[in-house]
Chains A and B, each alone.
Chain A
Amino acid sequence: MAFSNLSEKLQETFRRLRGKGKLGEKDVDEALRQVKLALLEADVNFRVVRSFVNRVKERAIGHEVLNSLTPGQMVIKIVHEELTKLMGEKAEKLVISDRTPTVYLFAGLQGAGKTTTVGKLGVFLRKQGRRPLLAAADVYRPAAAKQLQILGEQNDLPVYVGDGKNPVLIASEAIEQARQLQRDVVLIDTAGRLHINEELMGELQKIKKAADPAEILLVVDAMTGQDAVTVAQSFNEKLGITGLILTKLDSDTRGGAALSIREVTGCPIKFIGTGEKMDGIEVFHPERLASRILGMGDVLTLIEKAEAAVEAEQAKDLMKKIQKDQFTLEDFLQQMRQVQKMGPLDQVFSMLPGIKPKQLKGMAIDERSLKHIEAIIQSMTPQERQTPQIINASRRKRIARGAGRPVQEVNRLLNQFEQSRKMMKQLTNLGKGKGGFPKLPFM
């Protein structure tokens, strides 16, 4: 999980700080040394680290901390605030231009994930009610246009390919076609290029001139090392970047690039890419990411994901059922599927506060056990799902055979179901009237 190692380390450091009644300059120095090392190992640019640590130190050693009753917490607060500041204060939206279509130009090094990101953003924008058209201006990598075409077909988005030779022409023709097809956004995919390749950078400048994009988005691999800053700076100087998209954040990269790039280029990170599926894109929320680093969890993102996955009506029904104690295995299964819709479980869990990255190791196995649970429930008759009480020994055996799982697993599931039903009832009674998302039985 992104940042997991960093958050582990900072948590470890601050656990030591928390145990202290008062902090001296020495304690702060020791803690900040840990912060510095963690940030460096997270690939945060060393210059950024230096100025960051200095800023925190300046604030921390002043009266603010030393006179505070809980100095450890104060330091955490300062680090958190500075981290948030470093990554940009607020989530920044994409600019929409006055005249249609709005054009977004994508650029980046080879293998950063531009083509996939263009597809993802196309799907994302359509969900927001826009009508995107994708333009394949990568004429160098073999089959790059084909890749975009396939993504377009799979997601029902039009793709303009043109002659497959002249990227500048393809860009302007794509915009023309968007007008004809009444598409209001054009996403231009370009070939990966080195920031020091004058010729190809010149080509990008020409595309920029021809397409007059509302945003030029630099796609950066979150696993990039110290060089991320050089790359971003150089694209920015030559092209005038308006925003960044950070990809592959679903790996275990500590993603320090995110911390440095904003600081050095002044460009906001607008989206983060997680996963290869087309819904693996999220608006970048600096304050949430900072919280995640510090192990405070990312409840906001989780709630948003839950909202997107659970239709409001269903949620209401569910609440009623739980309150009336009519929660059945059918609902259990449905709920489980909704959680899966929210994304891979390890990602969902990592957003919960109080869950240590270490505990997440081995989560992937649970993903499979969810499938088993599904199989078991599906091997039950509708009547059994409605009233699990009738499931006797011989039914259990039959269900186990049908699901291809041992009987013990069926027993375990039924026990768990019973327990979580009780638990949910208590919880909903406590929170009656407040509504909200119910606690999920298997979490």
Chain B
Amino acid sequence: MAEGFVSRLKASLTKTRQRFLSQLEDIVVFHKKISPEFYDELEEILIASDVGYKTTSLLLDKLKERVKEEKTDETNEVKEYLREIIEEILSIPSPDIIHEGIPMALLVVGVNGVGKTTSIAKLAEYYRSKDKSCLLVAGDTFRAAAIEQLSVWSKRLGVDLIHHQEGADPGAVAFDGITAANARQVDVVMFDTAGRLHTKVNLMSELKKVHRVITQNLGERKLVNILVLDATTGQNALSQARTFDEAIGIDGIILTKLDGTAKGGIVLAIAVEFGFPILWLGVGENSEDLRLFDPGEFVKALFD
């Protein structure tokens, strides 16, 4: 990945870095020797980054084990260990983003307001830059003006859009979308869906139907189910991941809004609990601000 991206990601993670790092350095300098108080403060830093209590405990256990193995009591060694542990956790094999010669379908799901439609626009931009033909499908027939939002993007990007009117059956839209994609032999077809709280059983059943319709008419295509998560979300993201996975099976995650002060530590918790790979990171509102996730790079941006 281009060096430019590392610096861009670093810049967007600066706030995260500053807090996390300066706090980490603070306690490293303050304590020098590893002690229960040092671990307590480390625990607090991790929890404040939305890593969650359970995952924090796990990280600390691993860290303590490592410290024991290395027979060290220097706190400044800890930084490096922690970095390695986090990178290891985040290194999950992810499905291919591009299959040469095999057309794809991306089903993009998530709760309300995480940035599904914007992410789809960015994905379309990415695939177009790789000379792939794209088709957008406006599956959010519920929220007022959602179709217009995607249609503005489709015009801006010069990508075709399949849509019905507001209130239409999303299953029918999905059917038209997948049929059109196959007929037009489009490389990548992207399905937008309405934001739905994972706790609404009816809406989740609706999503299952959309998924079924796409699966049954997939043909040669490879389907990737993508869950969009907002980096500012706290522990509830776990619940979201679980429910969406139960409904349609999740292949990967797009983590959006990493350009704020949110630390996105929830990523770690999700990696530990579900083992979902993170596919993309959204680090800004420009279309080039959606970037492929690379654990090494991500941790590098976090620590260096």
Contacts and interface: CB of A to CB of B under 8 A. Distances in A.
Interface of A: 1, 37, 40-43, 45-46, 109-113, 141-144, 146-151, 154, 194-196, 221, 223-228, 230-231, 234, 248, 250-254, 256-257, 276, 364-365, 367
Interface in B73-117: 111-115
A234 B232 CA distance: 15
B31 to A, nearest CB: 19
Contacts of A230: 261
A224 B146 CA distance: 23
Nearest to A234: B261
A237 B112 CA distance: 27
Nearest to B238: A41
Interface stretch (B47-55, B128-136, B182-190): B47-55
B144 A221 contact: no
B262 A227 contact: yes
A111 B148 contact: no
Interface string B142-153: 111110110111
A45 B234 CA distance: 10
A424 B152 CA distance: 57
Contacts of A276: 112, 142-143
Nearest to B52: A41
B260 interface: yes
Given A40-B47, A113-B112, A223 B236 contact: yes
A1 B251 CA distance: 27
Given A144-B149, A194-B260, A221-B230, 6 more contacts: A110-B257, A225-B262, A227-B232, A227-B263, A234-B261, A251-B198
The DSSP consensus for interface residues of chain B is loop
Contacts of B53: 37, 40-41
Contact of B236 (A1, A142, A251): A251
Nearest to B257: A110
Given A109-B257, A231-B261, A254 B235 contact: yes
Contacts of A46: 44, 47-48
A252 B236 contact: yes
A110 B115 CA distance: 8
B54 to A, nearest CB: 8
B287 to A, nearest CB: 13
B286 interface: no
A225 B113 contact: no
A174 B200 CA distance: 36
Nearest to A251: B197
11 contacts: A37-B53, A40-B53, A46-B48, A109-B260, A142-B149, A151-B144, A154-B144, A221-B232, A227-B50, A234-B261, A248-B112
A144 to B, nearest CB: 7
Contacts of B113: 110-113, 221, 248
B239 interface: yes
Contacts of B146: 143, 147
